[in-house]
Homo-oligomer: A and B are copies of this chain.
Amino acid sequence: MTLAELDTPSLILERSILERNAATMTARARALGVSLRPHMKAAKSADVAKIALQGNFGGITVSTLKEAEYFAAAGISDIVYAVSIVPAKLARIAALMRAGVDLTVLTDRIDVARTLSARCVELGIEIGVLIEIDSGEQRSGLTPTCDELIELGTMLHNSPGVTLRGVLTHAGHSYACRSIEAIEEVAERERADAVGAAQRLRSAGLPCPVVSVGSTPTAVHARHLEGVTELRCGVYMFGDVFQSEIHSCGRGDLAVSVLATVIGHREDLDCALIDAGALALSKDRSTAADGLPEDVGFGYVTDATGSERIKGMRVSRVYQEHGLLECDGSFPFDRLPIGARVRVFPNHVCLTAAMYDAYQVIDGGRKVIASWPRVNGW
Q: Which positions in A face B, CB cutoff 8 Å?
A: 7-10, 41, 63-65, 83-89, 92, 108-109, 111-112, 138-140, 172, 261-266, 269, 273, 275, 278-280, 282-285, 319-322, 324, 338-339, 350-351, 354-357, 376-378
A112→B378 contact, CB < 8 A: no
Q: How many copies does the complex hold?
A: 2
**Most chain-B Cβ atoms within 10 A of its Cβ — which of A140, A320, A338, A339?**
A320
Expressed in whole angstroms, the minimum distance between the Cβ of A378 and any Cβ of chain B is 6
Known: A273-B84, A339-B88, A354-B355. Is A264-B63 also a contact (CB below 8 A)? no
Assess whether B63 is in contact with A273, with CB atoms less than 8 Å apart.
Answer: no
Residues of B within 8 A of A138 (CB): 266, 269
User: If A86-B339, A273-B139 touch, does A320 touch B263 (CB 8 Å cutoff)?
Assistant: no
- Let me know if A7 and B378 touch, CB within 8 A: yes
A89: chain B residues at CB < 8 Å are 7
List, in ascending order, chain B residues with CB within 8 A of A108's CB. 264
Of A9, A88, A319, most B-chain CB atoms within 10 Å: A88
Using A86-B338, A139-B324 as known contacts, list a sample of 4 further A-B pairs with CB atoms less than 8 Å apart, ordered by residue number in A: A108-B264, A278-B284, A279-B351, A357-B376
Tell me if B321 and A41 are in contact (CB < 8 A).
yes
Q: Are B140 and A109 in contact, CB atoms less than 8 angstroms apart?
A: no
Instruction: With A338-B109, A338-B112, A378-B8 as known contacts, state yes or no: A84 contacts B283, CB within 8 Å.
Output: no
State the Cβ distance, A268 to closest chain B Cβ, in Å.
Answer: 8
- Determine the distance from Cα of A320 to Cα of B339 in the docked complex, in whole angstroms: 34
* In contact, A261 and B378 (Cβ under 8 angstroms): no
Would A357 and B377 count as touching, CB distance under 8 A?
Answer: yes
Q: Could you show 30 A-B contacts with beta carbons less than 8 Å apart?
A: A8-B378, A9-B378, A10-B378, A41-B321, A63-B320, A83-B275, A83-B321, A83-B322, A84-B273, A86-B261, A86-B262, A86-B275, A108-B264, A109-B338, A138-B266, A139-B322, A140-B263, A140-B266, A140-B273, A140-B322, A278-B284, A278-B351, A282-B282, A282-B283, A283-B284, A283-B285, A283-B351, A355-B376, A355-B377, A357-B376
How long is the Cα–Cα vector from A360 to B181 in the complex, in angstroms? 48
Task: Return the contact of A140 from the options B65, B111, B264, B355 (Cβ within 8 A).
Answer: B264
When C-beta atoms are compared, the residue in chain B nearest to A109 turns out to be B338
Q: Report A338 CB to chain B, min CB distance, Å.
A: 6
**Residues in B whose Cβ lies below 8 Å from that of A339:** 86-88
Residues of chain B contacted by A278 (CB below 8 angstroms):
284, 351
**A225–B223 Cα gap in the complex (Å)?**
67
Min CB–CB distance A71 → chain B (angstroms)? 16
Among all A-B residue pairs, the 5 with the closest Cβ atoms: A84-B263, A283-B283, A63-B321, A140-B264, A84-B264
Specify which of A7, A9, A377 lies most central, judged by the most chain B CB atoms within 10 Å of its CB.
Answer: A377
Residues of B close to A285: CB separation below 8 A: 283
Q: Measured between alpha carbons, how far is A87 from B262 in the docked complex, in Å?
A: 11
Q: Measured between C-beta atoms, what is the minimum distance from A280 to chain B in Å?
A: 7
Query: Complex: how many Å from CA A284 to CA B282?
Result: 9
Contact B351 A263 (CB under 8 A): no
